[in-house]
Structure 1
Amino acid sequence: MITTTDLTKVYRSRGREVTALDGVSLHVEPGEMYGVIGRSGAGKSTLIRCVNLLERPDSGTVTVDGQDLTALPGPRHRAGRSLRQARTGIGMIFQHFNLLSSRTVRGNVELPLEILGLTRRERARKALELLDLVGLADHARAYPAQLSGGQKQRVGIARALAGDPKVLLSDEATSALDPETTRSVLQLLRDLNRQLGLTVLLITHEMDVVKAVCDSAALMEKGRIVEAGVVSDLLATPGSRLAHELFPVAGAVPGGDRTVVDITFHGDSAGQPVISHLARTHEVDVSILGAAMETVGGRQVGRMRIELPGHPDTNAAALAYLRERGLTVELPAEAEPIDKGPAPLDKSPDPDELAPESTR
């Protein structure tokens, strides 16, 4: 449904150049909820603006629902109508709602319908249907100042659905909301994804968002996608950075003649007493350093860090036993360390700060 190929975008301002996108290729399947995660300045916002061509990439292609948007003339061109028509199939949800304070809730939802040329009666009917869909039918005559943050975002979602889009883009839609409201808005997006068959591409810096609703995810750093895939597959991939970020395991890695093992339980193994069987079958003392069970991508997933006495070579049979039971087994002492601290200081500006004001 959404495919980007080798996207590049460089911002230039006052003699400075910042590469926001550096050869980004991404593929989102129809009906999928796809999350792009990364720190501030990674290029996430630029990527999502390039998908609907609010930002035109310097090179590369963007294809949505089989149509190459980058091949269409810009809106200022005489033939720019084709791009405007293509954009009606792409809804956009913004972080800061972008509601008009002078319009009622219904009036805000009707705005894109006015642009599409619907009659007053058609606009009113459609707007009320959409407000009912997002649970705000009884707030149609209210003004944005009378709404909570979560309600404002629901209005933004209803407005984004006005053109009956096939694709919904979410630009940090929950980052300004409290945790409980975030959960309700994410659940709404998931429900719309399933009920309407929407393809949803969302960007976020919150791992919990990806864990809660995403089928697939990509990790962005410095304008590049460094890892991508189906969330459940990533969790079963040894050494996956996204898996470690999505579901970190607590417990220090001690030294000495011990074997520390990180185990991921997924599928049928999540409910099996594998560790107790391991202790009995191999007569080994197992120390549990940390453990957690969460729902990731709609599936129960467990992570555990255990300690076995002796060097890994002496525990080869025990490790093989765990792998035979369908578990993902990693030795964190041998793995490349993952940076868990704050991002290093970078004197280069944030790409979004150099983006034109109208596209931020």
Structure 2
Amino acid sequence: MITTKGLTKVYRSRGRDVVALDDVDLHVRQGEVFGVVGTSGAGKSTLIRCVNLLERPTAGTVTVDGVELTALAGSEQRAGRELREARRRIGMVFQHFNLLSSRTVQQNVELPLEIIGLDRHDRRRKAAELLDLVGLADKARSYPSQLSGGQKQRVGIARALAGDPKVLLSDEATSALDPETTRSVLKLLRELNQQLGLTVLLITHEMDVIKSVCDSAALMRGGKVVETGQLTDLLADGRSQIARDLFPLGDFGTGREDRTVLEITFQGDAPAQPFVSQLARTYQIDINILGAAAETIAGRLVGRMRVELPGSHTDNVVPIGYLRQQGLQVDVLDLSNGAAA
């Protein structure tokens, strides 16, 4: 649904070039919630603004729903019309709501419909439907100043849906909200994704957002995508930084040569199996649990556990094989650098 190839954005600042995006390739599948996570300055917001061409890329292509938007970004009048039409299929939710204080909630939602020339009766009907969809039917005549932060963001979401988009872009839409309100807004985005078949691309600096709502994710650093994939695949990869950030497990272990530290990833039915106690009984070994975490991600129960076994890696080949036979992802940590061996 969304594909970028070689996407590059360079700004000129104080006589020097600043690279905000550096050869970014990204693919978001139809109907999924895709999260882009990274620290401030990683290039996340520039990326999402290039997807709908609010920022013109310096190089590369952007394709949304089969239409290459960058090919429509020329100066010709026809290309401009086609680009505007393509943008109507892309909704945008902003961090700071961007509501007009002089308009009521309903009038804010009607604004994009007014711009495209829809008559008053149809505007009101459509706005009422959208406010009901986001749970604000009773706030239609209120003004933004009378709303909470979460309610303002729901108005922003309703407005973004006014053009019946196939894609919804969310630029840090929950970063200004408290945790409880954040959860309710993320739940709404997931419901809209499922009910309307929306493809959602969201930008965030919070791993909890990725954990709670996303099907796939990408990690950005310094304008580059350094890791991307479906969450279930990333969590099964012992080298994944996203997986480590989602499930921080603390210290790696004692660092002694006569110990083996394992990272065990389990998904689906595996968490219901008492594999640690079974392993201890079967091989009569003492197991030290260093850390564990489990969450429901993309509708599946997923978790990670770090354990320490007595003896070297060679001594533990059979117990490691036993764990893998149970359908578990098992990685042996190199204690010198904390990475999977």
Separation in 1 of the partners of 2:213 and 2:240? 19
Higher deviation after alignment, 316-325 or 29-38: 316-325
- The TM-score normalised by the length of structure 1 is 0.91
Give CA-to-partner distance per residue, 1:192-223, whole Å, 9 cap, x none: 00000000000111001111111100111111
1:128 is the counterpart of 2:136: no
Deviation at 1:292, TM superposition (A): 1.9
Give CA-to-partner distance per residue, 1:25-79, whole Å, 9 cap, x none: 11111101100111111111011001000011111110000000000035x6422
The answer to whether the Cα contact below 8 Å between 2:219 and 2:227 also exists between their aligned partners in 1 is yes
Structure 2 equivalent of residue 167 of structure 1: 167
Structure 2 equivalent of residue 294 of structure 1: 295
Structure 2 equivalent of residue 227 of structure 1: 227
The answer to whether the Cα contact below 8 Å between 1:239 and 1:335 also exists between their aligned partners in 2 is no
The answer to whether the Cα contact below 8 Å between 1:251 and 1:305 also exists between their aligned partners in 2 is no
Letter aligned with residue 204 of structure 1: T
Give CA-to-partner distance per residue, 1:168-209, whole Å, 9 cap, x none: 000000011010000000000000000000000001110011
Give CA-to-partner distance per residue, 1:260-311, whole Å, 9 cap, x none: 2111111221211111111111111112122222112221112111111111
Q: Matches of residues 42-191 of structure 1 in structure 2 within 5 Å?
A: 42-74=42-74, 77-79=76-78, 80-191=80-191
1:280 is the counterpart of 2:281: yes
Separation in 1 of the partners of 2:131 and 2:333? 49
The answer to whether the Cα contact below 8 Å between 1:239 and 1:330 also exists between their aligned partners in 2 is no
1:259 is the counterpart of 2:260: yes
Deviation at 1:330, TM superposition (A): 2.0
Identity of aligned residues (%): 69
The answer to whether the Cα contact below 8 Å between 2:252 and 2:261 also exists between their aligned partners in 1 is no
Structure 1 equivalent of residue 271 of structure 2: 270
- The TM-score normalised by the length of structure 2 is 0.96
Separation in 1 of the partners of 2:60 and 2:291? 45
The answer to whether the Cα contact below 8 Å between 2:262 and 2:331 also exists between their aligned partners in 1 is yes
Letter aligned with residue 129 of structure 1: E
Separation in 1 of the partners of 2:154 and 2:33? 18
Separation in 2 of the partners of 1:272 and 1:147? 47
Give CA-to-partner distance per residue, 1:306-331, whole Å, 9 cap, x none: 11111122111111111121112123
The answer to whether the Cα contact below 8 Å between 2:238 and 2:263 also exists between their aligned partners in 1 is no
Separation in 2 of the partners of 1:64 and 1:124? 29
Letter aligned with residue 78 of structure 1: Q
Structure 1 equivalent of residue 29 of structure 2: 29
Structure 2 equivalent of residue 214 of structure 1: 214
Structure 1 equivalent of residue 308 of structure 2: 307
Structure 2 equivalent of residue 341 of structure 1: none
SS at 1:249's partner residue? coil
| Alpha-carbon spacing, 1:326–1:199, altered in 2? closer, same or farther (3 Å) | same
1:39 is the counterpart of 2:73: no
Structure 1 equivalent of residue 18 of structure 2: 18
Higher deviation after alignment, 198-207 or 65-74: 65-74
Separation in 1 of the partners of 2:36 and 2:323? 32
Separation in 2 of the partners of 1:15 and 1:46? 20
| Alpha-carbon spacing, 1:180–1:130, altered in 2? closer, same or farther (3 Å) | same
The answer to whether the Cα contact below 8 Å between 1:99 and 1:108 also exists between their aligned partners in 2 is yes
Deviation at 1:258, TM superposition (A): 1.5
The answer to whether the Cα contact below 8 Å between 1:250 and 1:291 also exists between their aligned partners in 2 is no
Separation in 2 of the partners of 1:291 and 1:240? 17
Separation in 1 of the partners of 2:82 and 2:2? 18
The answer to whether the Cα contact below 8 Å between 2:93 and 2:156 also exists between their aligned partners in 1 is yes
The answer to whether the Cα contact below 8 Å between 1:247 and 1:303 also exists between their aligned partners in 2 is yes
The answer to whether the Cα contact below 8 Å between 2:174 and 2:182 also exists between their aligned partners in 1 is yes
Deviation at 1:237, TM superposition (A): 1.3
Separation in 2 of the partners of 1:327 and 1:302? 11
The answer to whether the Cα contact below 8 Å between 1:5 and 1:26 also exists between their aligned partners in 2 is yes
| Alpha-carbon spacing, 1:335–1:214, altered in 2? closer, same or farther (3 Å) | farther
| Alpha-carbon spacing, 1:336–1:17, altered in 2? closer, same or farther (3 Å) | farther
The answer to whether the Cα contact below 8 Å between 1:262 and 1:304 also exists between their aligned partners in 2 is yes
SS at 1:300's partner residue? strand
SS at 2:322's partner residue? helix
Separation in 1 of the partners of 2:318 and 2:308? 15
Separation in 2 of the partners of 1:251 and 1:227? 23
Separation in 1 of the partners of 2:163 and 2:278? 56
* Structure 1 residue runs of 4 or more that deviate by more than 4 Å after TM superposition: 334-338
Structure 1 equivalent of residue 333 of structure 2: 332
| Alpha-carbon spacing, 1:258–1:211, altered in 2? closer, same or farther (3 Å) | same
Deviation at 1:335, TM superposition (A): 7.5
Separation in 2 of the partners of 1:335 and 1:234? 23
Deviation at 1:248, TM superposition (A): 1.5
The answer to whether the Cα contact below 8 Å between 1:249 and 1:262 also exists between their aligned partners in 2 is no
